[in-house]
Structure formats: structure tokens, C-alpha cells
Amino acid sequence: MSSKSKETIQLIQHELARKGFDPGVIDGIWGRRTEGAVRAFQASNGLVIDGIVGPVTWQKLFGSPSAVEPINSPAIPWFQEARRLIGLKERVGPGNEPKIIDWAKDAGIAYSSDDIPWCGLFVAHCVSSTLAEESLPSNPLGARQWLKFGAPCPKPVPGSILVFWRDKRTSFKGHVGFYAGQEKGTGVLHVLGGNQSNSVSIARIAPNRLLEARWPATVPISGDKVEIASGQTMFSTNEA
């Protein structure tokens, strides 16, 4: 899943800096410093102060409408952070992947080993590192706790948080990740998540396992479904 979102974020950071709003290092990573610069820019220009570069903020910042593809939209920075981390893996054997442990420290989540399922931690990192005012659910390590996050999303769109059952619907077990698309005809979901084959990756998950789609409460829902060609016949059944 190639991404041009890094270049888009760098462009935003550069323009913010040029206009006197310091986003920190111009590195294509959407962090709290960049979000703060967007908020300051919005306040200075009489815009809604939400830290999100949607169509109105983009127009004001660049003087022209955005031509960015929806999947690369800076209006869903938590999803772009998730895409940036594709390929990161937990450590095999003794020791932990430092970045995974750092996610927990930065978000104030008690977490000591990447042997502990970390799909919920991955989602918590992507949300908390890009949306300063968004509240995480209590015990975000529990996948089904994300059913209490934000607000319901009527239909999955890029950036939606998808909560799945595992083993069986009545079990306490679950999985959580981000909607990245769905296969035309079958509806099989492509889910960008952590702890999928012990890494940040995209897994194919049967749509009948979906419990609910959620969306951050501080951000307007945007986007539409992404249909892709059917893939291989096998799909993920156990993400832990």
C-alpha cells in the first residue's frame, strides 16, 4: 500500500513554517508539533480550530483546492501515521521492539513486552500521537474496548477504526485496526493493523467478523469506501 502522504505532510509543514507557524522538523510525520501549528494557523485565520487540514484549511493555507487523493488525505492523520509504520515488527525471542514500547510510554499506557498483544496499542499510538484532544478508551490494549471509542461510523471509510471478534462473537477476545479498503463483490476487509503476523501490516478479514466501525469524536467523518480487486482466497482468522 504505497503512500504519498509523507510528501503531502511535508508540503503542509513547509507552508506552515513559511507562514510563521512552527511545525517542528519538516519530516513528513504528523505529530503534536505539526497539529499545534495547524491550530495556531486556524486561529489566526478565523477557521474552526480542530488541528485538521481539511478542504477549508487547505484552501486558506495554499490558496487553491487540494488535489490530494482521498486515501492520502491529511484530514485523517492517524491513518497516515498507521501507513507510515507498515513493516514494523515485534522482536523475535528475548527483548522488545523499542518503538512499540515507546508508543506505550508516550500514550501513558502500562505495557512491558511486545509478547503482549499490541493491536490496541498500535491504534492508540496512531490516534494519540496525531489528535491531541481525542480521548482514548479505558484499557486501550483490549481490542473490544475500542467499541467505546469516539463515535459510530455508519460505513467503513479510510481511517475508520474497525473492531472484530476473535474465536467467536460472544468471546471477550477481539482485534482492532484501520479500514484500508474492501474487495469488490466479496466485501472482504483489508485491515491495516498491528500484531498482524507479529507486524504492522494489512490483513484480509472476513466482513462477518466486524462488530462495529468507529471514528474519532473530534474529527468530522469524511471519505468513502475503497473497492479493490479480490485477492487470495485465504484470509486472517487469528491476529494475536
For residue 230, the model assigns a pLDDT of 77
One domain, residues 127 and 20: no
One domain, residues 34 and 104: no
One domain, residues 61 and 133: no
One domain, residues 120 and 218: yes
**Cell numbers placing 220:** 468530522
**What does the pLDDT look like over 191-230, one tens digit per residue?**
999 999 999 999 999 999 999 999 999 999 999 999 998 7
Confidence grade of residue 1 (pLDDT, cut at 50, 70, 90): very low
**What does the pLDDT look like over 82-139, one tens digit per residue?**
999 999 999 887 889 999 999 999 999 999 999 999 999 999 999 999 999 999 999 9
One domain, residues 71 and 82: no
Alpha-carbon gap, residue 187 to 184, rounded angstroms:
6
Residue with cell 486515501: 71
For residue 235, the model assigns a pLDDT of 56
One domain, residues 82 and 68: no
For residue 238, the model assigns a pLDDT of 61
One domain, residues 89 and 195: yes
Does residue 240 sit within a domain?
no
The total number of structural domains that make up the chain: 2
pLDDT at residue 2 is higher than 90:
no
Out of 75, 107, 122, a domain closes at 75
Structural domain for 41, as ranges: 5-75
CATH classification of the domain holding 57: 1.10.101.10
Selected residue with higher pLDDT from 234 and 143? 143
Alpha-carbon gap, residue 64 to 77, rounded angstroms:
21
pLDDT at residue 37 is higher than 90:
yes
Q: Please name which of 214, 199, 239 lies closest in space to residue 99, comparing C-alpha atoms.
A: 199
Confidence grade of residue 53 (pLDDT, cut at 50, 70, 90): very high
For residue 146, the model assigns a pLDDT of 98
For residue 237, the model assigns a pLDDT of 58
For residue 232, the model assigns a pLDDT of 57
Report long-range pairs for 205-210 (Cβ below 8 Å, ≥24 apart): 205/162, 205/164, 205/175, 205/235, 205/236, 205/239, 206/235, 206/237, 207/182, 209/164, 209/165, 209/166, 210/156, 210/162, 210/163, 210/164
For residue 4, the model assigns a pLDDT of 76
Q: Which of 1-5, 11-15, 143-147 has the lowest mean pLDDT?
A: 1-5
- CA distances (Å), origin 131, targets 84, 139, 217: 16, 18, 10
Q: Which residues does 180 contact at the CB level (< 8 Å), separation at least 6? A: 1, 158, 190, 191, 192, 202, 226
Q: Please name which of 27, 12, 202, 31 lies closest in space to residue 128, comparing C-alpha atoms.
A: 31
CATH classification of the domain holding 109: 3.90.1720
